[in-house]
Structure 1
Amino acid sequence: MLTLSRVSRRYGETTALDGLDFVVPENTYMSLLGASGSGKTTLLRLIAGFEEPDQGEISIHGERIDGQPPHLRDIGFVFQNFALFPHLTVAQNVAYGLRHRAIAPVTNEKEITERTEESLALVGLSGFGHRAISAISGGQRQRVALARTMICEPRVILLDEPLGALDANLRARMCDELKAIRERLKVSFLHVTGSETEALTMGDKVAVLSGGKIVQSDAPDTLFSSPSNVDAARHLNAWNIFEAGLCGAAMGQGTIAVRFDQIDVSPKGKAPDGHPWLSAKYLTGEFNGPTALSFFRADDGTLLQVIDHLSQPRLPDMVEGQSYDLHFAPDAARQFHGAA
């Protein structure tokens, strides 16, 4: 189990991490979701030992690793750009860590060959060892980087935006492959991403990083359906967030969050009895294959989105620039104290 306790990191006047508490359980695929500049990469660098926290502790299985050099932490790191050696073959890249690690480098060529072949087989690249890095695809390069990390048998593997450099079709395939590889290894993966879809798809658990803290850490379905605060809801890109006052006295004060797919639209004055509603001007629509996304502007300027599933359409025909009542079931709303 990887544990961070009260970890802070500052750069001059900028606070990247602020007393952060975070746990990656044993044998878990953990996704870390955060916006650009939220401190995701800083967090990985602190865990890996490329930087040190200004305060706080980092431990694995109760043993502190902060203050130790990176090569003594038993942490694997798969970089976003893969960081492979272009002048070495696939097998030479994978074996590099065994040959050149600071502690107990492996010199027996038979052992190196066997462990390299095992690592390549684990990532589905048997028979690729002789190939040049320039002769394999982006997805295969990512798997080489993973095999190079795994061959040294780290206790935790860190993945920094590992799918960001891949095209959409390859990302989908690599999602399945990464999860399968982690299952076979039985070690913890910490997968950092700015994509809510990727985080929810990959993680056994998903943690949301915002304002230098973990604002929620839960199972994907729990996080998606029940964000515990405004920051978590905003990062999921599936919730409309607006001031309760837009719904009049019915919703009291504070901030309301309602999922895009749980808001309905009616002509002005036609919202059903018992449903909270707010007035908003229809801006435009966006067709996305099986779904359509409609955009509205509330009276206070808040942008609202409504998803319509075309297999079961529920929205009326709408005219751009015309105002409508957006309404929702009372139990569809999550209400938080404070402003949006």
Structure 2
Amino acid sequence: MATILSLSNVSKSFAGRPAIEGVDLSIPADAYVSLLGASGSGKTTLLRLIAGFDEPETGTITFEGTRLDGRPAHERGIGFVFQNFALFPHLNVRDNVAFGLTHRTVNPVRDEAKRAAMVAEAIEMVGLKGLEQRSVTQISGGQRQRVALARTLVTRPKLVLLDEPLGALDAHLRARMRDELRQIRRDLGVTFLHVTGSETEALAMGDRLVVLDAGRVGQFAAPADVYAEPASPGVARYLNAFNLLPGRLDGTAFRTEAGLLAMDTASLRSGHEAPVYAIRHDCIAVRAPATEMADDEAGLSARFLASEYSGASVLSFFALDDGRIVEVEEHLSRGEPQRLEADARYALSWKRRDALVFA
């Protein structure tokens, strides 16, 4: 797959504190790439460096074979959709979309007929035909998001940067706009680089997923591969789907403060300083406290605290003997959820092959 954007050893700090450190990244053309990370992990900083709003202290950024670092933002040919949409409230939908074509420094579109045709095409592309004369203060949040997208797409960039574009929308609109953004990108054949702090959004949107961990690329792979095989405890933590139990290797087992966990040698992932045992929420079974584990299982005793119902699943919280909380996800498609008694003890068990041991 051809590469449209490359970053090599890119670093940036603020007030002496690193925000991005030694980032190497190759973004493929004609792809939807999600960029996931916690607050402060460097997501927005990385986007701003690519867009040209900030400059890297080290490294190079190359777009379609041309170096971008040192070039002004308006000369980079890259689109940017802001989290707050950054629309002009005194302009209607059509004039907001046309603004960039009219006022850009490089190749402004002066011909009114040509500009009108380009604007009409972009507005129809995002499903806003018929709202051209409407003030952007008189349309919904989802429609404003589409106006912001149309204003970017009308300039026909080959790369569009989206900084948490769904963050200002309610849950229903976010779900709908996820599908629409993916469809628009496929229709245009451009590359979207979509920054988000939501693991659900990142996994659902991207053909590829970048996970930033403390200013560095923790993993870059297909979303299904990242979810099944996070490369580090940091990546697993950002997915919000794993229980992470610290401890140490003890022969062929892993010793935690809550007990000894059997493990397979195939589960071991070397090269990590602080040993961690990781098991996904939905891989854990809840059983009666006296239940014996099979030879291919591992588990711990825990006290049930509470459950949260989320529609398609139930998330239950258990306290281990060391006070650490373990989360168990039970999908309702598998049947009625178990009835658990508060403060009662249960055996939590899982297949040893489902665990990941970082050591």
Give the structure-2-normalised TM-score.
0.90
Residue 166 of structure 2: aligned partner: 163
Query: Which residue, out of 262, 279, 288, partners 1:250?
Result: 262
Map 1:53-202 onto structure 2 (within 5 A): 53-202=56-205
What is the distance in 1 between the residues matched to 2:142 and 2:336? 40
Counterparts in 2 of 1:315 and 1:81: CA distance versus 1, 3 Å: closer
Counterparts in 2 of 1:311 and 1:181: CA distance versus 1, 3 Å: closer
Quick check: 1:308–1:314 contact (8 Å CA) kept in 2? Answer: no
Residue 259 of structure 1: aligned partner: 280
What is the distance in 1 between the residues matched to 2:26 and 2:52? 17
CA apart distance, 1:308: 1.5
Detail structure 1 runs of 4+ shifted over 6 Å in the superposition.
none
Give the structure-1-normalised TM-score.
0.95
Residue 214 of structure 2: aligned partner: 211
Residue 336 of structure 1: aligned partner: 358
CA apart distance, 1:313: 4.4
SS at match of 2:260: helix
Residue 52 of structure 2 corresponds to residue 52 of structure 1: no
How large is the Cα RMSD of the aligned pairs? 1.6
- The one-letter code sitting in structure 1 at the alignment partner of 2:282 is D
246-255 or 191-200: which moved more? 246-255
Fraction of identical pairs, as percent: 49
Residue 46 of structure 2 corresponds to residue 43 of structure 1: yes
CA apart distance, 1:174: 0.5
Counterparts in 2 of 1:111 and 1:12: CA distance versus 1, 3 Å: same
Residue 327 of structure 2: aligned partner: 305
CA apart distance, 1:317: 3.8
What is the distance in 2 between the residues matched to 1:331 and 1:6? 36
Residue 289 of structure 1: aligned partner: 311
Q: Gaps spanning 5+ residues in structure 2: where?
A: 247-253, 269-274
Q: 1:163-220: per-residue Cα shift (whole Å, max 9, x none)? A: 0111111111101110011011111000000001101111011110111111011111
Q: 1:55-75: per-residue Cα shift (whole Å, max 9, x none)? A: 111111221101100011111
CA apart distance, 1:47: 0.6
* Aligned length, in residue pairs: 337
Counterparts in 2 of 1:315 and 1:88: CA distance versus 1, 3 Å: closer
Q: Gaps spanning 5+ residues in structure 1: where?
A: none
What is the distance in 2 between the residues matched to 1:314 and 1:57? 55
